């Protein structure tokens, strides 16, 4: 890993601000879950992985992406409105998917989000299709798949890498290696853990960056992004540590307190703050103001989500099926019909 260049004041502050917003969003959405106000029974936080901003910041307007089930930070980094995100996770009408996607299935094509996916590796092949479109159309866009280290053992990843290299697609495979697939540590699930070497075997440009250093991630990402636009697909591994368990209620009994303390000491947010101060790019007052603004913004998002209106029952089947597909008969109607048929038999 090469030492990253010294960022400009504006760029570095912008990345710090986004990381701070992601951290505050995750803290508040965790509260939403604990209050019983979120839709669904699971919530996956990305606290400790905020340096992914180095990748999202290297992308341009019009670039697209997919995420895994832990993708809140990625979407915020690409411009998502935290109020609409929080409302979506709360299952409310004004969420990005009108409350029907929840935390693990948010999508918004207007911002380039081709979909979050709860299936391990499920969103990876989508960028191959997007890449074909961009290459054939000469649009200059790229597409990025964000996924965790658990997906490194999925066959669909390698099929996608092979196609991307074979057809010179403008795509990047971005693995946020937080060391765990659910509760299984990576060294207990992967026989060969040099993941960039696996990608290089398919002919991809590869890089690994310290997930505690957002500028290192950004430097590696910029190089890969430019090469991808020129038709050379890439692979980036961000070496991070997941601060909390697989899901919000997971108390991580499979990790020791010492391990968690060591991992949390690699806090990308604290490291970015220290860097900005050490290089005179921001004062403590500047950073404290940014922190306070993020907390205020996410407090408002949390309140908005709780107060927002849930979708009407009559809209249950809207937006779920392809346009033109006849809506299924309501459950009560189908049940009545079945019982009537049974009575006649």
Please give the structure tokens belonging to residue 256. 């020791």
Closest CA to 117 of 129, 105, 99: 105
Cα separation, 32 vs 43, in Å, equals 10
pTM, full prediction: 0.92
Q: CATH for 10-343?
A: 3.40.50.970
Please give the structure tokens belonging to residue 14. 């912008």
Hey, where are the domains in the chain? 10-343
Sequence-ordered list of residues with C-beta below 8 angstroms from that of 274, at least 6 positions apart, any chain: none
267-318, pLDDT tens digit by residue? Answer: 999 999 999 999 999 999 999 999 999 999 999 999 999 999 999 988 887 8
Residue that the structure tokens 């590869």 belong to: 206
Cα separation, 85 vs 79, in Å, equals 11
* Low-confidence winner among 7-11, 101-105, 237-241 (lowest mean pLDDT): 7-11
For residue 8, name the pLDDT band (cuts at 50, 70, 90).
low
Exposed/middle/buried for 79, CB within 10 Å: 0-12, 13-18, 19+?
Answer: middle
- In degrees and rounded to multiples of 5, residue 216 shows phi and psi of -65, -40
Is 264 or 322 the better-scoring residue by pLDDT? 264
User: What residues pair up with 175 in beta bridges, in sequence order?
Assistant: 147, 237
**Dihedral sign computed on CA atoms, order 19, 262, 103, 64:** positive
- In degrees and rounded to multiples of 5, residue 148 shows phi and psi of -100, 175
Cα separation, 279 vs 290, in Å, equals 18
Helices 82-89, 284-307: axis angle to 10 degrees equals: 40
36-83, pLDDT tens digit by residue? Answer: 999 988 999 999 999 999 999 999 999 999 999 999 999 999 999 999
Please give the structure tokens belonging to residue 155. 């066959």
């Amino acid at each position: 890993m090469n030492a990253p260049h010294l960022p400009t004041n504006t760029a570095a502050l912008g990345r710090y601000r986004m990381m701070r917003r992601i951290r505050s969003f995750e803290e508040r959405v965790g509260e939403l879950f604990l209050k019983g106000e979120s839709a669904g029974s699971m919530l996956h936080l990305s606290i400790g992985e905020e340096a992914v901003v180095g990748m999202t910041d290297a992308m341009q307007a019009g670039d697209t992406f997919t995420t895994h089930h832990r993708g809140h930070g990625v979407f915020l980094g690409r411009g998502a409105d935290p109020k609409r995100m929080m409302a979506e996770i709360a299952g409310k009408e004004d969420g990005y998917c009108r409350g029907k996607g929840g935390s693990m299935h948010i999508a918004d094509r207007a911002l380039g989000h081709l979909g979050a996916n709860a299936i391990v590796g499920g969103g990876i092949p989508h960028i191959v299709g997007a890449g074909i479109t961009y290459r054939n159309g000469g649009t200059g866009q790229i597409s990025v798949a964000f996924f965790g280290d658990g997906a490194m053992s999925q066959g669909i990843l390698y099929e996608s890498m092979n196609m991307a290299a074979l057809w010179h697609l403008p795509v990047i495979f971005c693995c946020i290696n937080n060391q765990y697939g659910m509760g299984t540590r990576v060294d207990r699930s992967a026989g060969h853990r040099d993941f960039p070497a696996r990608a290089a075997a398919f002919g991809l440009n590869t890089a690994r960056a310290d997930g505690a250093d957002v500028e290192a991630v950004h430097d590696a990402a910029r190089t890969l992004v430019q090469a991808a636009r020129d038709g050379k697909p890439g692979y980036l591994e961000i070496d991070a540590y997941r601060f909390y368990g697989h899901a919000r209620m997971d108390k991580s009994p499979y990790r020791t307190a010492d391990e968690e303390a060591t991992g949390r000491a690699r806090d990308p947010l604290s490291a970015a703050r220290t860097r900005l101060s050490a290089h005179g790019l921001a004062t403590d007052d500047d950073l404290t103001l940014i922190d306070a603004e993020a907390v205020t913004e996410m407090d408002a998002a949390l309140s908005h989500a709780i107060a927002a209106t849930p979708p009407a029952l009559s809209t249950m089947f809207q937006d779920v099926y392809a346009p033109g597909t006849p809506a299924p008969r309501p459950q009560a109607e189908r049940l009545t019909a079945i019982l009537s048929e049974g009575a006649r038999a």
